[in-house]
Amino acid sequence: MASRFNPFKADGHWQKIWEEQGVFNAPPASDPRPKSYILEMFPYPSGRIHMGHVRNYTMGDVLARYKAMTGHAVLHPMGWDSFGMPAENAAMEKKVHPGAWTRQNIEAMKKQLKRLGLAIDWSRELSTCEPDYYGHEQALFLDFYKAGLVYRKESEVNWDPVDMTVLANEQVIDGRGWRSGALVERKKLNQWFLKITDFAEELLEGLEGLEHWPEKVKLMQENWIGKSKGLRCTFNLVGSHDGIDVFTTRPDTLYGASFVAIAADHPLAQSLAENAPALQDFIAECKRGGTTAAELETAEKMGFNTGISVEHPLDSNWHLPVYVANFVLMDYGTGAVFGCPAHDQRDLDFARKYDLPVTRVVADGDKEDSAFYGDVAYTGPGKIVNSHWMNGLSVDEAKADVIAKAEHEGWGVGQPQYRLRDWGVSRQRYWGTPIPIIHCEFCGVLPVPRTQLPVKLPEDVSFDIPGNPLDRHPTWKHVKCPNCQEPAIRETDTLDTFADSSWYFIRFASQPDDKPFDKEEAEAWLPVGQYIGGIEHAILHLLYARFWTRALQKVGKLDFAEPFAALFTQGMVTHETYKSSAGAWLSPEEIKFEGDKAFTLDGAPVERGRIEKMSKSKKNVVDPDPMFDQYGADAVRWFMLSDSPPERDLEWSESGIEGTWRFVNRVWRLVDGLENAEGEDKALDKSLHRAIAGIAADIEALHFNKAVAKVHGLVNDIEKAAPSASRTTAIRTLPLLVAPMLPHLAEEAWVALGNKSLIAGQPWPSHDPALLVDDEVTIAVQVMGKLRDTLTVAKGSPKDALEALALASEKVQRSMDGASPKKIIVVPDRLVNIVI
């Protein structure tokens, strides 16, 4: 009667029952049990589920199922981040409508996800490209507009002159449009912005309270916000009442200044250029060249001497030249800097090139000379020198003193500066949320009246000709001004898709028809108890979502600031790569192995490459569907949880998945071969109760690999144990312990054991704390810190007894070789160390 677990029957069978009974539908927000909102980052419907999704959703699923078993009201939803460029690209390439393409993909991926057997409340499924989602987003946008969190300003975009379209930075390759190959131009457009910078300080401070976020992510956000403290001060133009505003983090080096440099876009540079063709040329030169990291790094410092001078703020008789320089950025600080070459590498490079003075003002050890030699700036700490009244101060003291003096004398203020810039949300694209704004010639910029929401995307659009389909649609943009009723024009920009993902987690918790969400209901579930996703969203998505939540709080829609109480970033799923001798990538199905060497199916040699993230371009992708066909959902799930710690990368391997398949069957055989027996097996009881407690702790800590190891340990112990009542109990308990990870097998086993109800509704087994404590312990006996023997003694044996036992050991005596102990260290229940 020995049988094999048949996942091909069991998977579909149980998935259907779960769905019919709505087992995983979240209870109402009024449910008195503690709430547990488990969320994985929702997918973009690209067409196929990949192994990264499988890993991500399996982890969340284990947690959600476990939380349900431990008495929580669980919300575990799923949706689709379904606006975005790939749909428009598909529309252009395949002549399909972006909506049709997207919805088809959603259907296909949903089917794949369901095969995984996820404990998801599908009744709350949402898709951001549908008006019943984005219409509410438009309402929120108008709330922000009303609260002054939205504004419009001219801003530069990458413009493809052939495709007549705006390009994202990642679509610009070597300065050319990725599709057309045309040289990209910079173009100024009026664009919408959200005032995330209003929240810069809050977003930074809020990080401290996020105890359950990875340090790494918090650090990345901190760097992105990029706060620096410094002095903003004015350098007066010689012979004029105007001045140049400068920001510096090194006011202590003010006496080492030798020039002032302004950005090419600086208003002063622009006005000077009007009558100076040479400067115009220089500014044009600065604007050429890419903005990529590599180009910037190699770009040489260039300056243009404007011929004008400014007064040093600490000494009006001291005049400094003003340059326009390519390394000064208009959008950071004030777009102007003073150069202190001795203590800033960039300034030093510039000063050496244009032969400007270099004066040391911070002592480098005992080097205090004002003359500075060499091409390496000194940026370390030291006492201030050659700086009049500041001499002898430390760098920090000098900074504080200069700021105090500037504020007292009125020529500068100490202020923080942030790297973070406002969030430009305008996209000149079709497949996104229409920005609900109307432009009237007479009344100006007006919000769309609430009663007219949602502003729906027109379905009848074409992608045959370049440009924004919304802009050239014959009727869509023509509306009446809500104010004066004269003809007016709709905004044809759509919102950045990051806006869609900035509040979806709130809509999951509460989905009324007439508003984005209900405050009370949302607050009952949120913040998300555990958010799980890829590290690639460490900055933008998570920062925008944090901002959006704070903005909602500011406009009174919600009463909490942080959307995600705990964050977990899982590692990637990787696979070895293969290349033919011609250098073409080969997929794993095109390879066979002979020993360590790989060959094509025709026998040609294959070069084995690095283990990399699965990607279509490298052809090292393993599709989940055939794995479900061959091994069933549970084996795939178990593999995803085994071995690698979840935050680390997981290498997919054929032997690995076979191993997990074997294990699933081992569990099944135990249950299948169960016989009722009598008698107690104390050791097995302990093993069981230890597993119950240990697996629970590991799942709660998201240490799935350790939980898996503990299940293995228990299964090994059960297999070795002789029949007993203890063994029968252990086998009856086992399905409960694997239920979060192997839900189909667990249901099947539960029935086989004679239970009537679903295992999904069962409580996690309780353990007896007394059984977690050993009454015997093994003690290490060391001589001079080296292990010589081990002793098994009763737990809590007194020190002197342990000492005596240790000294009596034959092995210990041999290794002491007649020497007498100088000192004996006894750590109760652990070890004895004899020092001779």
Partner RNA sequence: GCGGACGUGGCGAAACCGGUAGACGCAACAGACUUAAAAUCUGUCGCCCUUUGGGCGUGCGGGUUCAAGUCCCGCCGUCCGCACCA
Cα separation, 88 vs 497, in Å, equals 13
Q: Which is nearer to RNA, 195 or 301 (CB)?
A: 301
Shortest CB 653 distance to RNA, Å:
6
Judged by beta carbon, residue 78 or residue 384, the one nearer RNA is 384
Bond prior to 27 in cis (omega within 30° of 0): no
In the bound state with RNA, the residue whose beta carbon lies nearer, of 329 and 371, is 329
Q: Please state the closest distance from residue 717 (CB atom) to RNA, in A.
A: 9
Choose between 188 and 830: whose C-beta lies nearer to RNA.
Answer: 830
Amino acid identity, residue 103?
A: R
Spatial CB neighbours of 715, under 8 Å, sequence gap ≥ 6: 663, 666, 667, 670, 734
The CA distance from 396 to 823, in Å, is 51
Of 149 and 718, CB closest to RNA: 718
Q: What is the radius of gyration, based on Cα positions, of the chain?
A: 34
Instruction: Report residue 211 as tokens.
Output: 């105890």
Identify the DSSP state of 117. Answer: T
- d(C-alpha 782, C-alpha 597), whole Å: 47
Q: How far is the CB of 811 from RNA (least distance, A)?
A: 6
- Show the tokens assigned to 727: 């063994």
> Which residues, 6+ apart, have CB-to-CB distance to 233 below 8 Å?
245, 246, 248, 251, 313, 406, 411, 412, 413
Write down the least CB distance from residue 347 to RNA, Å.
Answer: 8
Structure tokens at 260: 């002032």
Minimum CB distance to RNA smaller for 241 or for 288: 288
Instruction: Pick the closer one to RNA by CB: 137 or 672.
Output: 672
Dihedral (CA of 203, 208, 213, 217) sign: positive
Nearest alpha carbon to residue 263 among 311, 319, 333, 343: 333
In this structure, are residues 436 and 451 in contact, taking their beta carbons and an 8 Å threshold? no
Nearer to RNA, 131 or 659 (CB): 659
Give the closest residue to 300 by CA, choosing from 355, 346, 357: 346
Task: Name the residue nearer to RNA (CB basis): 257 or 461.
Answer: 257
Q: Find the shortest distance in angstroms from Cβ 55 to RNA.
A: 13
Smallest gap from residue 113 Cβ to RNA (A):
25
Report the relative pairing of strands 303-312 and 315-325 from DSSP bridges.
antiparallel
Q: Please tell me the distance from the alpha carbon of residue 741 to that of residue 56, in angstroms, as a whole number.
A: 13
CB of 599 to RNA, least distance (A): 17
Sign of CA dihedral 50, 53, 59, 64: negative
Task: Using the minimum distance from each CB to RNA, give the nearer residue, 293 or 582.
Answer: 293
Residue closer to RNA by CB (options 12, 659) is 659
Length of the chain: 836
Query: Shortest gap between Cβ of 264 and RNA (angstroms)?
Result: 10
Q: How far is the CB of 226 from RNA (least distance, A)?
A: 6
- Reduced to 3 states (helix: H, G, I; strand: E, B; else coil), residue 446 is strand
Residue 284 vs 329, nearer CB to RNA: 329
Is there a contact between 514 and 550 (Cβ–Cβ < 8 Å)? no
Rounded to 5, what percent of the chain is helix, strand, coil?
Answer: 40, 25, 35
Tell the burial category of 408 from Cβ atoms under 10 Å away from its Cβ (0-12, 13-18, 19+).
Answer: exposed
Tell me if residue 46 falls in helix, strand or coil. coil
Nearest residue (CB) to RNA, 254 versus 552 = 254
Residue for token pair 């007549």: 164
489 burial (CB, 10 Å; 0-12 / 13-18 / 19+) is middle
User: CB of residue 352 vs RNA: minimum separation in angstroms?
Assistant: 14
Residue among 710, 721, 736, 709 nearest 675 (CA): 721
Closest distance between RNA and the C-beta of residue 540, in Å?
9
Amino acid letter for position 497 = T
CB closer to RNA out of 177 and 333: 333
What's the min distance (Å) between Cβ of 708 and RNA?
6
Work out how close the CB of 802 gets to RNA at its nearest, in angstroms, rounded to a whole number.
13
Residue 713: CB atoms within 10 Å: 15
Minimum Å gap between C-beta 233 and RNA is 11
Taking each helix axis from N to C terminus, what angle separates 682-700 and 725-738, rounded to the nearest 10 degrees? 10
Q: Read off φ and ψ for residue 315, nearest 5 degrees.
A: -160, 100
